[in-house]
Amino acid sequence: MSKVKISKTKIKTAKISPATKLAGQNYPHQKIETKWQKVWAEKKIYQTNDKSSKPKAYVLDMFPYPSGEGLHVGHILGYTATDIYSRYLRMTGNNVLHPMGWDAFGLPAENFALKHKVNPAVSTKKNIDNFRRQIKSIGLSYDWSREINTTNPDYYRWTQWIFLQLYKQGLAYESYEPINWCPSCQTGLANEDLEDGKCERCGTVVEKKPMRQWVLKITNYAERLLTDLDQLKWPESVKEAQRNWIGKSEGAEIDFPLANKRHYVLLPGFASNSKRSFFPWLKRELEAKGHSVQALDLPDARIPNIANQIEAVLKQVKFGPDTILVGHSWGAVVALKILEKLKTPIAGTILVAGLIEPAVKNRESWPLRLIFNWRFTWPKIKKNAGWVKILRDLKDPLIADNQGLRIQQELGGDLIEFEAEKAHVCGKVEPVVLEHCLEKIKIFTTRPDTLFGATYLVLAPEHQIIQNLIRQPSKKIKNLPAIKNYLTKTKKRTEIERTAEGRDKTGVKIEGLEAINPANGEIIPIYIADYVLVDYGFGAIMAVPAHDQRDWVFAKKFKLPIKLVIWDRQKLTDKSSQIVEDVLEQAYVGEGILVNSDNFSGLSNQKAKIAITKFVRGHLVTKYKLRDWVFSRQRYWGEPIPIIHCANCVLNNPVGRGIVPVPEKDLPVKLPVVKSYAPTGTGESPLADITNWVRVKCPVCGAWAKRETNTMPQWAGSSWYYLRFIDPTNKKFLADPKKLQAWLGAGSPLRNLSQANIGGVSMYVGGVEHATRHLIYARFWHKFLFDLKIAPGSEPFSQLKNQGLVLGPDGRKMSKRWSNVINPDDVVRDYGADSLRLYEMFMGPFEQSKNWNSDNLMGVRRFLDRVWRLSFKVSKTDIKIASDLESLQQKTIQKVSQDIENFSFNTAVSTLMIMANNLELAETISRSLFKDFLKLLAPLAPHLTEELWSNLGEKRSIHLATWPIFEPSKIKINSFKIIIQINGKVRDSFQVEVGTSEAEIKKLALLRPIIIQWTKDQKISRMVYVPDKLLNLVLA
């Protein structure tokens, strides 16, 4: 799960102070540490018992991606913290689940393997062994009986199982949309895998490439992913990052009709004519908008002769680039046949309740089945059709249900499925037909209140209208070369160049195409500009330069009109309507009152949002920046997607596209072991070449079929692993629901959340870099499993902490490039695991980034040596403890407990240092006092404390002992110091007995010589007394 990149050379490590500094009275860390690690493993003292009745706590680290570089000191920071926390919770009487595993599928392992010509399975195993050895060497208290590995078929069987459930719920689908393609890694990537338009792995600039992909519909969960954030005890920055990533914005979708006049040709259906159904109404409506309309009657309507019909149409109609052909039912078939005959393309084609096969419901004897030759020359039709819209009545009693999709497969275009006013779209009035006959540009805006100020439209270069424009150039477009030129330039520009260059706005006007502002009927120009993104909203915006800074800049550059429609209530004057550019120096984006907006002028802009949207028949909608999760990788080292493609099933049911999920009983679909797994670069996974693996009998029809050869992305296995730890060896299910309920169900006091019922891991710790990937993906899968009633709560991780970055001694990120990498193995060897652990905790606040400093490491080692020497001063039997030492002990218990609970490990360490310093002053140390001290230190330095504990004759491990109880009554204070301030400045202090009254203290203070000196000749106007602490004398 880590982003650590694989190195090719051996890591150079930074120098740490030589071990010789340790000579003298120090403890033998190597001997002690290996000894106790062995004992703990043999006695299995960290194994978690599901059946225990103690309160449960699930403390989890983000499991590592086992890279070839080995464990990083940054990993250890997080792992040590959770280890201390787990040990503390155990000692305070909780049943703690604290497991570890390996997130081992993914690109880096595969790239590493390719480079070194070993199988990724082999190198991965080697890396895991090394990680495990290193982790064990620092004495972390994981329950190793629960170790999991995402590349193990017993594990990924359930990853595949979850995918199948997603598929069955319609949340996994095939897409052919252009996606991010990394030419170096030769695979598609999700949006989340990009950094600055570059591949997050290798830094190569990604391309947009259309290809077949599996995609997960995470967008269905956008709203829940957003709102449930409020209930999580997570760092605010991570929650904010997710809110940002989901990117909710509320606004309106509004249609801008095109201003150009068209010539509509309407063809009626079988046995019908231009006077029936919606034809007369549609003609009237279109003519009212200024278009010309020919509603034709076809000859021989009841026994159609296609040749005659085509001839009749061609005779009456002059087809040109402004023609829009509308065919209803059989008329749609005639329309296609006419398109076959045309020499030049028309503007667009609308097929209403159309068909292309004699697939008609309940009409076996339909005459056209026999007398018509159902063959079409599709490429010719496609070339001439212009834009295509296919309208299908969802309850059509005649036309077979698959015809809409079949036409789309042949012609492309938009398939609109709706419920007609009358069956088979035969109503006198069919608004959906009219709506799609009229050409318009749909835009999304968060500011419908500014609609009257929309002075032009801007389309993304990839917008459908522009694609159509290029394919079927209308003579009315006067600057086609300039448009083409701009599109080519945009294409060449990378994502980075598009966003860099100080965000200089570029664009080009479409000469000869105009739109109508639906609010005021003004005809406005249309521009193409790459600052509009195709995959957000509708890839088109209305530009309101007066109230949007980007539009402002663009309008200034292209000298477009700027029209003020909102103005500050305070500055509102009679002349507001003339303010515009000469006063405005930039867009006015604030709230205000509408001006220049017809009847809406005078309204507050908030109210106008709804009113204006309603006025232009727009809709209030919510949009999200979150995109669906591109889930295929064209690579070898990942979980195979459990899908079979069956050509035979396509024939039987074209709508199903021949996608057959692998039956659950056949899981796991094992990744085949092969010699060559290099990426092909063709957009196919290397698995495609493994013929005997790809070839498989279709589980539905039995014919030979092909396996899906794409694999899952690296983030699949980590999206549910925390569930598997709960029941890692379950053969029947991903985990026993009862155990899931026990460990993740809501209501555990340790989760300590105000809102109940979200459940989840009690404490989850890992790097902040997973804010928008792992942590969003896992929440998505968890919510999905929650909906399936498998997960017991709606959130996977109720509490999250991010460890800060551990930088090199030079303050730079640890990297072989700077030779500043600290190898934990060296530290463990020279200073011991306890020193390493304690040092990392002592470095600074847990969540802050900090530099490595070997001198400071030496400091904590000295502390441990001091504790070692203290043990020689311990009394044989319990002796009386001095009261001030006892008070200190109680304060230490309280502070260390609090600090561990709050992850303030640095101050916990310093508190223990203070205690040790005080113990050192004593001739002999009370046995019970020292034992309590060892317990407090045990979570932080488990080896040394275990050794000293056993030296005191204890037979049972200190880590199974009970945490000392804080007893405030034992804190005995006889006197305390009162600070005397004069005007807030400290001037004096003195000791007073406990119980001295306020009046007495004031009296004593005024008798002090220093105070007399400071206050002489001056009047004390006020005395502020803070009980037991301070007295402030305020002089007049």
Site for RNA in 409-448 (CB under 7 A): 444-447
List the interface residues with RNA, window 3-22 (CB under 7 A). 20-21
Which stretch, 53-61, 556-564, 949-957, 974-982, contacts RNA (CB under 7 A)? Answer: 974-982
- Which of 159, 906, 945, 957 binds RNA (CB under 7 A)? It is 906
Nearest Cα to Cα of residue 707 among 728, 686, 688: 688
Q: Which stretch binds RNA (CB under 7 A): 34-42, 245-253, 568-576, 628-636?
A: 245-253
C-beta of 472: minimal distance to RNA in Å?
24
Q: What residue numbers does the annotated binding site cover?
A: 816
**Which of 536, 529, 530, 541 is closest to 494 using CA atoms?**
530
Residues of this chain, 547-576, that bind RNA according to CB under 7 A: 548, 550
* Residue 885, CA atoms < 13 Å, CB-side half-sphere: 20
On the CB side of 140, how many CA atoms lie within 13 Å of its CA? 29
Q: Is 910 in the site for RNA (CB under 7 A)?
A: yes
Those residues whose C-beta lies under 8 Å from the C-beta of residue 465, and which sit 6 or more positions away, are 441, 459
Q: Which CB, 289 or 987, lies closer to RNA?
A: 987
**Residue matched to tokens 């001030």:** 884
To RNA, the closest distance from the beta carbon of 615 in angstroms equals: 17
533 interacts with RNA by CB under 7 A: yes
C-beta of 718: minimal distance to RNA in Å? Answer: 17
With vertex at residue 580, the alpha carbon angle to CA 577 and CA 586, rounded to the nearest 5 degrees, is 140
- 873's CB contacts (< 8 A; 6+ apart) are 919, 922, 923, 924, 925
Q: Which is nearer to RNA, 267 or 524 (CB)?
A: 524
Q: Does 247 bind RNA (CB under 7 A)?
A: yes
Report the residue number, 24 or 953, with the smaller CB distance to RNA.
24
Q: Per CB under 7 A, does 479 bind RNA?
A: no
User: Does an H or E element contain 510, and which?
Assistant: strand 508-516
- Paired sense of beta strands 629-630 and 213-216, if any: antiparallel
Binder among 118, 169, 195, 475 for RNA (CB under 7 A): 195
DSSP bridge partners of 256: 441
Is residue 530 within the footprint of RNA (CB under 7 A)? yes
> What is the smallest separation between the CB atom of 1035 and RNA, expressed in angstroms?
9
Cβ contact 701:649 at 8 Å: yes
Q: Which is nearer to RNA, 506 or 577 (CB)?
A: 506
Strand 850-851 and strand 806-807: pairing? parallel
Helical pair 854-870 and 905-921, crossing angle rounded to 10 deg: 40
- Between 883-901 and 905-921, two packed helices, what is the crossing angle to 10 degrees? 160
Q: Which of 169, 29, 24, 22 is nearest to 838 (CA)?
A: 29
Could you tell me which stretch among 430-438, 586-594, 746-754, 766-774 binds RNA (CB under 7 A)? 766-774
Per-position x/- string for 860-899, each x denoting binding to RNA as judged by CB under 7 A, each - no binding:
x-xx-xx---------------------------------
CA distance to 55, 56, 245, 919, per residue, from 49 (Å): 12, 10, 39, 38
Q: Does the footprint of RNA cover residue 485 (CB under 7 A)?
A: no
Distance of closest approach, residue 552 Cβ to RNA, in angstroms:
11
CB closer to RNA out of 569 and 977: 977
The residue range among 60-68, 317-325, 372-380, 532-540 that interacts with RNA, by the rule CB under 7 A, is 532-540
Stretch binding RNA (CB under 7 A), from 174-182, 342-350, 401-409, 767-775 = 767-775
CB of residue 547 vs RNA: minimum separation in angstroms? 9
Of the pair 651, 1024, the CB lying nearest RNA is at 1024
d(CA 340, CA 354) in angstroms, rounded, equals: 16
Kindly tell me which of 114 and 621 has the beta carbon lying closer to RNA.
621
- Structure tokens belonging to residue 797: 């991780």
Q: Strand, helix or coil at 837?
A: helix
Q: Which of residues 360-399 bind RNA (CB under 7 A)?
A: none
Dist. CA 357–CA 938, nearest whole Å? 79
Q: At 212, which amino acid appears?
A: R
Decide whether 833 or 860 has the Cβ nearer to RNA.
860
CA distance 577 to 515: 24
For residues 585-644, which are near RNA according to CB under 7 A? 623, 625
Q: Per CB under 7 A, does 730 bind RNA?
A: no
| Closest CB to RNA among residues 693, 842 | 842
209 membership: H or E segment, kind and range: strand 207-210
Q: Please, are residues 1020 and 1034 in contact by the beta-carbon 8 Å criterion?
A: yes
CA dihedral sign of residues 987, 992, 994, 999: negative
Cis peptide leading into residue 668 (ω within 30°): yes
Complex with RNA: residue 392 or 447, whichever CB lies closer: 447
Report in angstroms how near the CB of residue 864 gets to RNA at its nearest: 10
Instruction: Report 13-72 residues binding RNA (CB under 7 A).
Output: 20-21, 23-26
- CA trace torsion 662, 668, 669, 673 (10° rounding): -170
Tokens of residue 365, six digits: 């004897």
DSSP letters for 215-268: EE-GGGGHHHHHHGGGG-B--HHHHHHHHHHH--EEEEEEEEEB-S--EEEEE-
- Considering only residues 30, 237, 292, 578, which one is a binding residue for RNA as defined by CB under 7 A? 237
3-state class (DSSP) for residue 98:
coil
Residue 157 or 233 with smaller CB distance to RNA: 233
808: nearest Cα among 74, 131, 79 = 74
Quick one: 188 or 331, whose CB is closer to RNA? 188
Considering only residues 801 to 830 of the shown chain, the ones binding RNA according to CB under 7 A are none
Residue from 129, 300, 401, 920 binding RNA (CB under 7 A): 920
Q: Of 616 and 1034, which CB lies nearer to RNA in the complex structure?
A: 1034
Closest CB 227 distance from RNA, rounded Å: 18
Parallel/antiparallel/unpaired status of strands 263-267 and 292-295: parallel
H-run or E-run covering 391: strand 387-393
Interface with RNA, residue 996, by CB under 7 A: no
Which segment (43-51, 89-97, 339-347, 501-509) binds RNA by CB under 7 A?
501-509
Q: How far is the CB of 973 from RNA (least distance, A)?
A: 12
CB of 24 to RNA, least distance (A): 3
Question: Smallest gap, in angstroms, from Cβ of residue 622 to RNA?
Answer: 10
| Alpha carbon distance 779, 793 (integer Å) | 11
| Binding region for ATP | 816
Binding flags for RNA, 829-858, as an x/- string (CB under 7 A)? -------------xxxx--xxxx-x-xx-x
Stretch 1004-1033 residues interacting with RNA (CB under 7 A)? 1022, 1024, 1026, 1029-1030, 1032
The DSSP annotation for 763-786 comes to: EEEE-GGGTTTHHHHHHHHHHHHH
Residues numbered 254 to 283 that lie near RNA (CB under 7 A) are none
Is residue 476 a contact partner of residue 260, using CB atoms and an 8 Å limit? yes
For residue 1013, the minimal CB distance to RNA (Å) is: 9
The distance of closest approach from Cβ of residue 250 to RNA in the complex, given in angstroms and rounded to an integer, is 8
Which residues ranging from 449 to 468 are in contact with RNA (CB under 7 A)? 460
Which residues pair with residue 205 across a beta bridge? 198
The site that binds RNA (CB under 7 A) totals a number of residues, namely 86
CB of 979 to RNA, least distance (A): 5
Among 92, 119, 819, 989, binds RNA (CB under 7 A): 989
Based on its alpha-carbon atoms, the radius of gyration of the chain, rounded to whole angstroms, reads 37
Q: Which is nearer to RNA, 52 or 244 (CB)?
A: 244
Residue 536 in contact with RNA, rule: CB under 7 A: yes
169 vs 244, which CB is nearer to RNA? 244
Q: How far apart are the first and last CA of the chain?
A: 65
